[in-house]
Amino acid sequence: MRLELVAIGDELLKGGVVNTNLFFLSRALSFLGYEVKGQTVIGDERIEEGLKTVWTRSDVVIVTGGLGPTLDDKTKKAVGLLLQKKLVVDQKVKKRLLKRGLQGAVLESLSKKPQGALVLPNFCGSAPGLVMLKPKGALILLPGVPEEMEALFDQAVAPFLKKHFPLKKRFFQEEIQLCQISEAEVDPQLRKFKLKRPDLRIGIYPHLATLRVVFSLESSHEKKARALLSGFKKKLEKAFFPYVFQAQSGDLAEALKDIFVQKKLTLALAESCSGGALGAALTSVPGASKYFLGSLVTYANELKTSLLNVRPKTIQKYGAVSLETAEEMLQGIFLTTTADFGIALSGIAGPGGGTRLKPAGTLCLAYGLRGKKAQLKKLFFPFERKLFVKYAVSFALSLLWVKIKAL
Amino acid sequence: MRLELVAIGDELLKGGVVNTNLFFLSRALSFLGYEVKGQTVIGDERIEEGLKTVWTRSDVVIVTGGLGPTLDDKTKKAVGLLLQKKLVVDQKVKKRLLKRGLQGAVLESLSKKPQGALVLPNFCGSAPGLVMLKPKGALILLPGVPEEMEALFDQAVAPFLKKHFPLKKRFFQEEIQLCQISEAEVDPQLRKFKLKRPDLRIGIYPHLATLRVVFSLESSHEKKARALLSGFKKKLEKAFFPYVFQAQSGDLAEALKDIFVQKKLTLALAESCSGGALGAALTSVPGASKYFLGSLVTYANELKTSLLNVRPKTIQKYGAVSLETAEEMLQGIFLTTTADFGIALSGIAGPGGGTRLKPAGTLCLAYGLRGKKAQLKKLFFPFERKLFVKYAVSFALSLLWVKIKAL
């Protein structure tokens, strides 16, 4: 079964929005064991033409976008033309939308579907999903609003696929997550695996301070495939033990929450250049309140002094971005909060504010346990401002991980 | 000239990473006036087949990904097969990489190119860009690492396109950015514009608490087109004046920086549920230090009390998530910092922590000028945790904007 994804919308071709729908669908289908053979983005004015190419070569096509009531929503019309089906009003849909207070042209437009289409009710929004069947295939239309699309996929599309397109040979997948390890460091090991099993697919996905390695194998023997993959995984885990983390979401912050809670430690931060982004990253995980107390975002130097007790002399002598200031910020955390562990960040996010000796991209970190000697680290991420902050946050998370894991 | 984009990589089809490269390229090309006719994502094992379809129907194709030295990088080989060109070593590239300390199989692999390809040197990484020309067309290969790809595009691809594929009929575009206004509120006005100019393309892109409306027109008369578009823009601006903001990056934080600096006001925050995300959003803009002092991220109640002077009685009686607590947090900002303006957020990000009367998704805000009565606002964003925080931040930014604009 050949499955492809299509996203509709001029805004995607113009870079008005990031395409998170194809990301969601690819990830969700991959978890179900389906292989996505291609993704295509088509503009509003070219839906019929673009869809024809994909539909002709595929069995199942999932399309998102262009189902709404506004004037830039043109998917249903194009699909009608492509499949030579008239657009007709679905009375059930109309009734449901009427109840929700819709009327006029919007009601009319949202109630229409290509003749013969099955309706997937949308409980999070107004435009329902639609399915057109062909022998051994289906064209599935979903709305473009991410929350609606995601809910419809989980509630209706996933069960539909499982029922009508059950998998025979399946893709099995294992992954391992590392931090502070580079692509080049794992590559030799991976090449050995590949020699053993030439059909093994390996993906290496570096992301800031973390690295995800994915092994996959197509097989009809689940047990064998899983054993093989988990063997490869264990070898890597052993070789890189201190840097391996586990998190369902792939997010180091999740692993940190687990380990802090497990070790019964609390954490507080002092941030400057990151503006609160490290606190935001840590609290993006449910349950963060079990160990995370807070963050003192002392962007202005006056706050470093008044809130964290950093001596004005230290800032004067070494600069706000220095290991000396970072260390005093860390001590300030222990003064101001009851945290067991602290980390302080000060850096130059740029583009302005750098000097020859301390260029934009410089990051100074101090971290450690209350009452113990602080560990200090100076790093350099010469990137654009937002990317600098992302690296700073990711690196801080990875430092925390390696340190707490070893405690 | 028909231009299409291609991204290579199994990780994209499996949902391992979000595709920001196609987003960047689409946006950058759109700014230059080029229209992107399609985006396609192709898996590592299907590059030749997938690229053939796109290359056959297009004049210019920009491909990202699969140029690196690791075993999952297969783009050059596939392009060689597609164009029937041998892979040969480019001595200049090899020399440059040797100087940078590369060696062995990695050096060899990175130095190779399909015979006849032009080289676009990569100053941010190791894999260079490559260009294969055809009569009236070009196949442009760029590395997949976003920072390298973006730098190469700006430095080499944009000038190349301008020189070899200058625009005749161009797309002109205007946009207007609004906050706290819904799609439905602007739609009637936009339909009127469309009646006047049926060839006007309108895109409506809601994003959290903001809305971007884009008008575009294909024309060979720049002056006429621009006058028409700016007329439409002015009409909308007039109708929604208090909610209109301007920011080159499209980012409300940029508009806020400008208006705070212009009005010579400083700002400090007290955050709880957002964990620092509001501070991070505000400081993502260069120059934020000109008005932004910092944020007290008091995630734990003990910090609300010790740092912001919130009375334990208030938390006990009304809860940490209440307008009463938010108001005391705001007063705490004025006690602890010298800020002219403050905003305090407390909410339940979920999934846990909600009650029947205060479900997850509840957000309480207090904001205002030092010495003036605080404005209080209770909102409800019943979304998944990360999305809740995004809405909370976007809404807080929009409240700040409307308030400061009116001062």
pLDDT digits (tens, 9 = 90+) for A122-152: 877 788 999 999 888 999 999 998 888 998 9
- Give the residue ranges of DSSP H helices in B263-365: 277-282, 301-308, 312-318, 323-336
pLDDT at B171 over 90: no
Q: Convert the pLDDT of each residue in A79-105 to its tens digit.
A: 999 999 999 999 999 999 998 888 888
Contacts of residue B241, Cβ cutoff 8 Å, sequence gap at least 6? none
Nearest to A143 by CA among A255, A257, A65, A235: A65
Quote the DSSP letter at residue B66.
-
Confidence class for position A162, pLDDT limits 50, 70, 90: very high
Counting one residue from A and one from B, how many pairs have CB atoms under 8 Å apart? 287
Quote the DSSP letter at residue A153.
I
| Chain B partners within 8 Å of A28 (Cβ) | 15
Nearest to B384 by CA among B360, B367, B355, B354: B360
Phi, psi of A354 (to 5 degrees): -90, 160
d(CA B48, CA A222): 30
Element (H, E) at B256: helix B252-262
pLDDT of residue A234: 96
Q: Do B201 and A10 touch (CB under 8 A)?
A: yes
Classify the phi-psi angles of B351: left when phi > 0, otherwise alpha if psi is within -120 to 50, otherwise beta: alpha
Average pLDDT estimate for A41-66: 94
- Beta bridge pairs of residue B8: B42
Confidence class for position A392, pLDDT limits 50, 70, 90: very high
In three-state secondary structure terms, B387 is helix
Confidence class for position A350, pLDDT limits 50, 70, 90: confident
Average pLDDT estimate for B318-322: 97
**Dihedral angle, C-alpha A21, B127, B77, A182, nearest 10 °:** -70
Picking from B25, B29, B41 by the largest number of A CB atoms within 10 A of its own CB, the best residue to mutate is B41
| Chain A partners within 8 Å of B300 (Cβ) | 289, 292-294
Picking from A48, A283, A285 by the largest number of B CB atoms within 10 A of its own CB, the best residue to mutate is A283
Average pLDDT estimate for B85-103: 92
Q: Convert the pLDDT of each residue in B240-285 to its tens digit.
A: 999 999 998 889 999 999 999 999 999 999 999 999 999 999 999 9
Confidence class for position A357, pLDDT limits 50, 70, 90: confident
Q: Convert the pLDDT of each residue in B204-231 to its tens digit.
A: 878 889 998 988 898 888 899 999 999 9
- Beta bridge pairs of residue A118: A131
d(CA A201, CA B87): 24
Choose among B11, B214, B280: nearest Cβ to A276: B280
pLDDT of residue B71: 67
Is the separation of the CB atoms in A340 and A370 below 8 Å? Answer: yes
Phi, psi of A390 (to 5 degrees): -60, -45
pLDDT of residue B83: 94
Q: Do B40 and A41 touch (CB under 8 A)?
A: yes
Is the separation of the CB atoms in A348 and A277 below 8 Å? Answer: no
Q: What's the start-to-end Cα distance of chain A, in Å? A: 50
Burial A290-304 (b: 16+ CB within 10 A, else e): ebbbbbbbbbbbebb
Nearest to B215 by CA among A16, A63, A84, A264: A16
Q: Which residue has the higher pLDDT, A171 or A304?
A: A304
String of DSSP letters for A268-291: EEEESTTTTHHHHHHHTSTTGGGT
| Chain B partners within 8 Å of A22 (Cβ) | 19, 41
- Tell me what the pLDDT averaged over chain A comes to: 93
Q: Convert the pLDDT of each residue in A265-323 to its tens digit.
A: 999 999 999 999 999 999 999 999 999 999 999 999 999 999 999 999 999 999 999 99
Is the separation of the CB atoms in A231 and B40 below 8 Å? Answer: no
Contacts of residue A209, Cβ cutoff 8 Å, sequence gap at least 6? A179, A180, A252, A391, A394, A395, A397, A398
Q: Do B297 and A300 touch (CB under 8 A)?
A: no
pLDDT at B354 over 90: no
pLDDT of residue A156: 94
Q: What percent of chain B has pLDDT over 90?
A: 73
Nearest CA in chain B to A194: B71
In three-state secondary structure terms, A337 is coil
Q: How, if at all, do strands B292-298 and B267-271 pair?
A: parallel
pLDDT at B46 over 80: yes
Average pLDDT estimate for B33-38: 91
pLDDT of residue A172: 87
Q: Do A23 and B15 touch (CB under 8 A)?
A: yes
* Cα within 13 Å of Cα(B174), Cβ side: 18
Picking from B12, B26, B174, B340 by the largest number of A CB atoms within 10 A of its own CB, the best residue to mutate is B26
Q: Lowest-confidence range among A17-26, A278-287, B362-371?
A: A17-26
d(CA B211, CA B207): 6
pLDDT of residue A72: 67
Choose among B19, B274, B303: nearest Cβ to A293: B303
